[in-house]
Amino acid sequence: QADASPGYCWPFQGSQIEVLIRLPTPVQPVAITIQHASKIASPLGTVSSAPRDFTVSGLDEEGEDETLLGTFTYAMQQELTQTFPLQVRPVIPRAFRFLKLGVQSNWGKPGYTCIQRVQVYG
């Protein structure tokens, strides 16, 4: 449970990152939410550190068997909090203990990528 105040985020070095999220219990995920601070609320007055293109994958208990659950774009022109339905149809066949968030690009910040909040629904 992170602080949602502007300026508080999980900073990661670079514009391409991978984050492994350990869920408290195995979950059959249906959607993921990403949140970033607004340009107005940002202490630096910019949102270039926000993730842009990213993937979400589910991993088994050992972290070996990986299932791609979706490829998405966080759109800065939309709401700060965006929910992405996972793209596995008709239903994700199983529950996962780990999710991998793989960010391929951000909105232009070369030094780091910041994620304010990630929520998993299942």
Mean pLDDT, all residues of the chain: 82
Q: Given a cut of 50, is residue 1 above it in pLDDT?
A: no
Which residue type, as a one-letter code, is found at position 1?
Q
Q: Which domains are seen in the chain, by residue range?
A: 10-121 (2.60.120.260)
C-alpha torsion sign, points 18, 84, 121, 71: negative
71: its two tokens: 């490829």
* 41: pLDDT strictly greater than 80: no
Question: pLDDT of 46-94, one tens digit each?
Answer: 678 889 999 999 997 777 788 999 999 998 877 888 999 997 666 667 8
Q: How many CA atoms lie within 13 A of 19 on its CB side?
A: 21
Among residues 121, 38, 42, 117, the alpha carbon closest in space to that of 78 is found at 38
Residue type, 110: P
SS (H, E, C) 75-89: CCCCCCEEEEECCCC
CA atoms of 88 and 36, how far apart (whole Å): 25
Is it true that the peptide bond before 110 is cis, omega within 30 degrees of 0? no
Distance in angstroms (rounded) separating the CA atoms of residues 12 and 39: 19
Whether residue 3 contacts residue 106, with contact meaning beta carbons closer than 8 Å, is answered with no
